[in-house]
Amino acid sequence: MATIWMDGKLLPAEQARVSILAHTLHYGVGVFEGIRSYDCGDGSASVFRLDDHLQRLEDSARICGLKLPFLLPVLRDACVEVLAANGLLDGYLRPIVYQDDARLGGLGSSPPVHVGIAAQAWGAYLGEDGLKNGIRTHISAYRRSGLGSSLPKAKITGQYVLSTLAKREAIALGFHEALLMDDDGCIAEGSGENLFIVRDGVLKTPPTSSPILPGITRATTLHLARRGAETFGVSEIREEPITRGELVTADEAFFTGTAAEITPIREVDLQPIGKGGAGPMTLALQKAYFELVRGRSAAPAHWRTPFGALVR
């Protein structure tokens, strides 16, 4: 039975319940994060960029006018505690901030804010084969809304409706993942991943001024690409919008995300990208990413939160 951290207590999952009347369930004002910890292979493990994820959680909450009922250091300890309680080294953490006072209020009510943190094992989000050989994607008719009609910089529960429908549609059509355009018709991102393409050594990803979530894996990938430009064959890095034409004529394309890690894209709507498999720069960046998160290469000190000693 999984153990959940709820408002400061560790509870068996069956007791970690919210009310059917919870405001967040009805209206979608809640914020969350997806965080991974990695087994470093020597009995120790570390949570990757925990402070950055918790900072984004707090930013998302502030964007929604929610005040976190716990300080970030408390949530930081709680994340480690819940991994330990579930006996996980390689783990996926899901903190969620929600409003609930077990009464049906209207839109204007603002019930108390709560925090729950779940942890579970979660292997390759888009499949082991996807990590190795690339995945097949579908450009959805659902769009990633722009700044005028949504809050794309925040991870808000209610904002995942269109990405969920886009992803389900892509799977029903036989693809692995959806791509969503922005209001200008450029390809913004996946349902839960940022997008990169490579052409003639130029690595390109939409800028954070686009309606994308400013992904932490996106930032880590840019860091790796800058640090090892020569090794990876990166001649230039551009943060610019990506058109459909650029995507289908790219040499390589890949997704980045905490869950997706670095997953090659081998096809868009039945058109192969490059040679129709995982590209060499993608695989080199993926290897460097796994070395980084598993503690086998240098990283800024605050990127890793070790916790091996606490695991029971």
- Binding residues for ligand PMP, rule: CB under 6 A, are 34, 163, 189, 192-194, 213, 215-218, 256-258
Could you give the CA distance from residue 291 to residue 248 in angstroms, rounded to a whole number?
A: 30
Query: At its nearest, how many Å lie between ligand PMP and the CB of residue 57?
Result: 11
DSSP state of 286: H
Query: At its nearest, how many Å lie between ligand PMP and the CB of residue 218?
Result: 6
| Phi, psi of 219, deg, nearest 5 | -65, -40
| Phi, psi of 255, deg, nearest 5 | -100, 150
Could you give the CA distance from residue 262 to residue 42 in angstroms, rounded to a whole number?
A: 24
Give which of 127, 155, 6 is closest to 66, Cα–Cα. Answer: 155
**What is the enclosing helix (H) or strand (E) of 252?**
strand 252-257
Query: At its nearest, how many Å lie between ligand PMP and the CB of residue 220?
Result: 8
DSSP string, 17-37: ---TT-HHHHH---EE--EEE
Query: At its nearest, how many Å lie between ligand PMP and the CB of residue 130?
Result: 16
Rank residues 256 and 286 by Cβ distance to ligand PMP and give the closer one: 256
Rank residues 3 and 144 by Cβ distance to ligand PMP and give the closer one: 144
Rank residues 37 and 217 by Cβ distance to ligand PMP and give the closer one: 217
Which residue type sits at 75?
A: L
Could you give the CA distance from residue 160 to residue 64 in angstroms, rounded to a whole number?
A: 15
Rank residues 116 and 190 by Cβ distance to ligand PMP and give the closer one: 190
Maximum Cα–Cα distance across the chain = 59
Rank residues 216 and 311 by Cβ distance to ligand PMP and give the closer one: 216
Residue 287 is a catalytic residue: no
Query: At its nearest, how many Å lie between ligand PMP and the CB of residue 12?
Result: 27
Active-site choice (9, 155, 204, 287): 155
Which residue type sits at 283?
A: L
What are the catalytic residues? 155
